Amino acid sequence: MADTKHETKLLDELEKGPWPSFVKEIKKSAEKNPVGHDLLGQLELSYRDKISHWKHGGIVGVMGYGGGVIGRYSDVPDQFPNVAHFHTLRVNMPSGWFYTSDVLNKLCDVWEEHGSGITNMHGSTGDIIFLGTTTDQLEPTFADLTANGFDLGGSGSDVRTPSCCVGKARCEWACYDTMKLCNDITQEFQDELHRPAFPYKFKFKFSGCANDCVAAKARSDLSIIGTWKDDIQQDDKAVAEYAKNGLDIQKDVCNHCPTKCMDWDGSKLTINNRECVRCMHCINVMPKALRPGKERGATLLMGAKAPILQGALLSSVLVPFVPEDELMDTIKELVDRVWDFWCEYGKNRERVGELIQRVGMGNFLDAIGLDAIPEMVSAPRDNPFVFIQTDEQEAE
């Protein structure tokens, strides 16, 4: 492999300044593998031309899988032959992105042997990203990954690599075991993850409370958000301690409550828990005094996505509360019904959220066998154009 350094006058500007530099990272990689020099060379050309020099992907992968590898080819391979093929592998991360030094070193060994040595920690979906290798190295990389206990993640029209917040491992607010559920769901749907058979992608994201540290409500087809049913656990002594230490409980806590369900009389905080919407603000501000209740579980919301194609959507409520110990079974049954309907009626590249918009939530609920309940809407419809079904009229 030719070890050609290219001039990188523009990129060198991005080595300056206090924030850690990705250009330095690529240069470090190039010390071990000259692929990095050609990547820098092509990127420098992009900086000059103000345009990407990657071609549209191609279909590459490992045997038996339809996802997990993103094909990538240079549109200037003559100038930068070492990145003529520069494919990405998505490697399924462990729940919560926890590692030991030893396992990280092993992953590095694999990637230094078979690829550029350049990674993303992590990709937006959550995978460990191995950035840049050739087609002939895909199988050997995969073999070494599985030998070390790792597998590929999702890509294309399949279950995308599920991700979760840190949950019970290091957070007192986790209303269910996000890491376990994420891992269990990932293992349960290995076939759906590796072999694309859907109209488009399907994302699961698990957040232990409404703070939603993995942005499930904004970007996952099924958003599992931890919540509780009983009363906020309240330690009055600790509340008084916060007040003594200068927290203005009326202004900083009560006034920000979205349902105004809290009263502070200067010495005692009273919460009307039946009017609480579990927004987390008061708990966020006073973590020593207030904690989620003890009867914990999750709200299931469906349909979030980025703008492509009909516009961005946030997930909306399907099931207001599922107790923690019923989450696995409920989710399995729910996605089974949703996927059945989506696979039959979904159009090419249509996410579940868009399908719901197209067929109507009422029809979608009928299809998956859920009853309409007021928790599903912010308000009932305000237009009179109701598609009343004729068989229901006849039944009256």
Residue of the chain from 34, 47, 60, 81 that contacts other proteins (CB under 8 A): 47
CA distances from 141 to 83, 107, 117, 226 (A): 17, 10, 12, 37
CA 183, CA 37: separation in Å to the nearest integer? Answer: 38
Per-residue burial over 99-129, b = 16 or more CB atoms within 10 Å of its CB, e = otherwise: eeeeeeebbeebbeebbbbbbeebbebbbbb
Residues 141-170 that bind other proteins (CB under 8 A): 143, 146-147, 149-151, 163, 165-166, 168-170
**The two three-digit tokens of residue 33, written as one number:** 């593998």
Instruction: Count residues binding other proteins (CB under 8 A).
Output: 128
**Contact partners, residue 372, CB within 8 Å, separation at least 6:** 361, 362, 365
Residue of the chain from 90, 114, 219, 351 that contacts other proteins (CB under 8 A): 219
Q: Is 210 in the site for other proteins (CB under 8 A)?
A: yes
CA 118, CA 96: separation in Å to the nearest integer? Answer: 22
Piece in contact with other proteins (CB under 8 A), picked from 112-120, 262-270, 330-338, 362-370: 112-120
3-state secondary structure of 245: coil
Q: Is 377 in the site for other proteins (CB under 8 A)?
A: no
Kindly tell me the burial class for residue 210, based on how many C-beta atoms sit within 10 Å of its own C-beta (0-12, 13-18, 19 or more): buried
Q: Is 186 in the site for other proteins (CB under 8 A)?
A: yes
DSSP-assigned states of every residue in 138-204? HHHHHHHHHHTT--B---SSSB---EE--GGGT-TT-SS-HHHHHHHHHHHTHHHHHS--SSS-B-E
Piece in contact with other proteins (CB under 8 A), picked from 261-269, 278-286, 329-337, 384-392: 278-286
Look-up of token digits 């986790």: 174
Q: Is 19 in the site for other proteins (CB under 8 A)?
A: yes
Residue of the chain from 2, 64, 246, 387 that contacts other proteins (CB under 8 A): 64
**Contact partners, residue 389, CB within 8 Å, separation at least 6:** none
Residues 312-331 that bind other proteins (CB under 8 A): 312, 314
Q: Is 260 in the site for other proteins (CB under 8 A)?
A: no
Residue placing its CB nearer to other proteins in the complex, 99 or 370? 99
Q: Is 194 in the site for other proteins (CB under 8 A)?
A: yes
Residue placing its CB nearer to other proteins in the complex, 174 or 368? 174
Residue placing its CB nearer to other proteins in the complex, 298 or 368? 298
Q: Is 281 in the site for other proteins (CB under 8 A)?
A: yes
Residue of the chain from 99, 264, 321, 345 that contacts other proteins (CB under 8 A): 99
Residue of the chain from 79, 84, 120, 320 that contacts other proteins (CB under 8 A): 120
Residue placing its CB nearer to other proteins in the complex, 75 or 231? 75
Q: Is 364 in the site for other proteins (CB under 8 A)?
A: no
**Contact partners, residue 33, CB within 8 Å, separation at least 6:** 112, 116, 117
Piece in contact with other proteins (CB under 8 A), picked from 123-131, 325-333, 336-344, 359-367: 123-131
Residue placing its CB nearer to other proteins in the complex, 207 or 368? 207
Helix or strand run (H / E) with residue 336: helix 327-345
Piece in contact with other proteins (CB under 8 A), picked from 125-133, 261-269, 338-346, 365-373: 125-133
Q: Is 76 in the site for other proteins (CB under 8 A)?
A: no
3-state secondary structure of 322: strand
Q: What is the DSSP letter of 232?
A: P
Residue of the chain from 1, 4, 275, 287 that contacts other proteins (CB under 8 A): 287
Residue of the chain from 2, 56, 371, 391 that contacts other proteins (CB under 8 A): 56
Piece in contact with other proteins (CB under 8 A), picked from 265-273, 283-291, 327-335, 379-387: 283-291
Q: Is 57 in the site for other proteins (CB under 8 A)?
A: yes
Q: What is the DSSP letter of 301?
A: E
Q: Is 373 in the site for other proteins (CB under 8 A)?
A: no
